[in-house]
Chain A
Amino acid sequence: MNKIVKEIFSPSMRLTLLAVLASFVFGGVLVAFASSEVQTAATYLFARPGDFFLAVWNAVFGAYDALFRGSIFNYKVDNLLGMIKPITETLAYATPITLAGLGLAVAFRSGLFNIGATGQIVFGAMFAGFVALNVPLPAGLHLVVAVIAGILGGAFYGALVGFLKAATGANEVILTIMFNYIAALLLAFLLKTPIFQAPGSQNPISSAVPESAKFPFIFGDQVRIHGGLILMLVAVVAVWWLLNRSSTGFQFRALGHNPSAAKVAGINIGLTYVLVMAVSGALSGIAGATQILGTEKFLTGGVAASFGFDAITVALLGRNNPFGVLAAGILFGGLRAGAVTMQANQGVPIDIVLVVQSLIVLFIAAPPLVRSMFRIKAEKGGAK
């Protein structure tokens, strides 16, 4: 317990919290700027400055209050389900983000800059969707096989990059960016063929996933929390074990620290590249599977949404530590869930989330910038 308290008050954690705070302040400035009440009050700023500041307060407080009510706890409704529904929405968003973020954390720790979560999610969703939609199996078994297919799909697409890097020395950043687009276009094509397209439909959308392949809801049909959440929590622990307790994970990290030294130590670099990318892709593949089999229940071209980018930010914010990734995933899941309410109630565009999220990552990545904003002196020993 003491250790946790220490961690929370550690300099690096303090910088993280300040970075988040600064990003929200900047988001508040944007909200105030866009509010028509603030704009009106600004025209007679010098006559009645109080009005202006009141308008700013109302706009910013209204927006963040809606964000809170949409993501954590809605105190404005009078039934329990309505009150706790926001937090369940947050967890529903957090599930794919955290899974894909874990995948990227594995790759980042191993020195591979995998930008390809989007493509790997798409492949996971396609494989899982193919089994769910086209392979008739008994209930229970169907879901398991579909999830495994999703894992294999993501792992295959990730491993392909690892293989190309190992065999030709190609840069994984460029490869994964290109592969993201190739995957998205392949999915768009397949959604127009009988492989995925719902019979009789003119739109690029599959038919609904059959009951036998759906993740069961945990708390009844009213809340979107399904078995994928449990899978995600298991994955957090599994990745922690893999990276910190297993010898494979040791090899991964050795590769990340110093590839030449790892090679001298007898680690098969090429094989490790493939393995790292397979594990990384597999986790994104699960994210894709949980989306189609749990949350969305259809396969569409937008299955990967913005999860690929979210995953990058989550991995960075969580400092590539599985539990950190979980915390960051819940934070960004909350932002996503809350932004929906914020847009509906306060008319603040949902895009504000992208701004806040990007700023958090930029600030986290540049500690000197945050220190100078808050006039903190650098800690001795160069704390990051």
Chain B
Amino acid sequence: MKQSLRTPISLAVISLIGLWLLVASTGATTMIKTATDTDIFALPDIAINTTVSSAIAFALMVLVAAASFYFARKLNKKTPLWLILIYGFGLIYGILVWLFAGATMPISALLSGALALAVPLVFGSLAGVLSERVGIVNIAIDSQLLAGAFISALAATLSHNLYVGLIGAIIGGAIVSWVLATFAIKYVVDQIIVGVVLNVLIVGITNFFYSTLFADNVSLFNQPPRFDRILIPLLGQIPVIGPVLFNQTLIVYLMYLAVAGVWVALFKTRWGLRVRAVGEYPKAADTVGIKVFRTRYISVMIGGALAGLGGAFFTLGQVGAFGKEMTNGAGYIALAALIFGRWNPIYAAFAGLLFGFAQNLQYGLAIIGSPVPSEFLLMLPYALTAIAVAGLVGKVTGPAAAGKPYIKS
């Protein structure tokens, strides 16, 4: 069978962006500021000519596109993922340098802002991975985040204890996902309907209590403490990425553990094998004695608990107080990250980081007064995901049984 030319052609077409960057570049210089206060040794700022960088990016993209054609036609193989990653790197590099032409790009500030926006996305996408891998479509990630944010603020305020807040968030997220699982499994309701409705139901409930309970008694119900940053010695002093990754709150460190933990659990343990079996072919799993329903409940609820933690980041990790609809649709971007990351916890986490970066870029660009409209940066996660599900860059398919109820006969 011949390999489809869809990927090479798509890569070639997207390379036109690189060509446009080259044509539209003015030859101005972009300064990349890498130094921060905590570095052991400070890297010097780097000056890059935008025309040169656009040329490099364009060349990289054309080369990868050509290699992709070569793989498809001569070797009859799929384009390997690392080639597509190089391509993506070239594209992002070219666009970034071009966007900051004639100005200074504060790379550390951009990255740390990106991480802050990405934390709920990563937790949310892990919730999606655990849910969809076991065969339950989770459109309700947003509601799990929101429930986590709400309950963590309430619990931490009432108890004056951050850890009680975190536990509350875990329970809150798990309860919402339990409702999703119950309606999907016990009542065999269409999982997409339950997800969409849950998102609105939780918005309604949290808004209602926000207006009636929180608004008049802020100090009583909605004034939680916040987590302090913890600087990890040595790791935190690596130039550029050190302070970004290793001078963070507890919730961020939990996120690193969660990404690794979900990956190990899904792909290296017996439980993970069972989860994936149930998500791909529940009947076969049932035949060999795996308890399909119980596996589904447990996996979905662990996912909800993780999403709850992501919700706690909005309150205990960042703002402190709970605000109406404070997730601002993050659950839907997490859904996008999960699909863009092909139902793999590690890819999904990187997709979450990428989407967080794109969202955060608007603030960096606003500071230098760039004319690029923020709406297009915000659009990026959705557009990339639409492109991904349309199969333009490789085929994206989820677990086979996701969305289909299992009826034991």
Chain A residues engaging chain B, CB cutoff 8 angstroms: 30, 34, 113, 115, 164, 167-171, 173-175, 177-179, 181-182, 185-186, 188-189, 192, 306, 309, 312-313, 316, 349, 351-355, 357-359, 361-362, 365-366, 368-369
Contact = CB atoms under 8 A, between A and B. Distances in A.
B207 A354 contact: yes
A354 B390 contact: no
A179 B332 CA distance: 12
A182 B211 contact: no
Given A186-B379, A368-B187, 6 more contacts: A34-B212, A182-B382, A349-B212, A357-B204, A359-B201, A365-B194
B379 A170 contact: no
Interface string B368-400: 000001011011001101100111100000000
B189 A355 contact: no
The 9 A-B residue pairs with the shortest CB-CB distance in the complex, in nearest-first order? A354-B204, A34-B212, A358-B201, A366-B187, A351-B207, A189-B375, A355-B204, A349-B211, A178-B382
B197 A313 contact: yes
Contacts of B192: 113, 115, 173
Given A182-B386, A185-B378, A189-B376, A358 B204 contact: yes
A288 to B, nearest CB: 19
- Most chain B CB inside 10 Å of its own CB: which residue of A34, A178, A316, A354: A178
Question: Interface residues of B toward A: which range?
Answer: 35 or more
B329 interface: yes
Contacts of A178: 336, 382-383, 385-386, 389
Contacts of A170: 386, 389-391
B193 interface: yes
Contact of B205 (A177, A188, A355, A362): A355
Nearest to B206: A351
Contacts of B183: 362, 365-366
A249 to B, nearest CB: 22
A307 to B, nearest CB: 12
A177 B335 contact: yes
A164 B390 contact: yes
A355 B379 contact: no
Interface string B199-238: 0110111011101110000000000000000000000000
A373 to B, nearest CB: 12
Nearest to A193: B373
Nearest to B179: A362
Given A186-B379, A309-B196, A368-B187, A351 B339 contact: no
Nearest to B188: A366
Contacts of B379: 181-182, 185-186
A135 B392 CA distance: 37
Contacts of B194: 362, 365
B58 to A, nearest CB: 26
Contacts of A186: 375, 379
B385 A309 contact: no
A171 B385 CA distance: 11
B245 to A, nearest CB: 29
Interface string B358-375: 000000000000000101
B286 interface: no
A169 B398 CA distance: 13
Interface string B140-158: 0000000000000000000
A182 B332 CA distance: 12
A274 B204 CA distance: 35
Contacts of B39: none
Given A181-B382, A189-B375, A354-B201, A175 B389 contact: yes
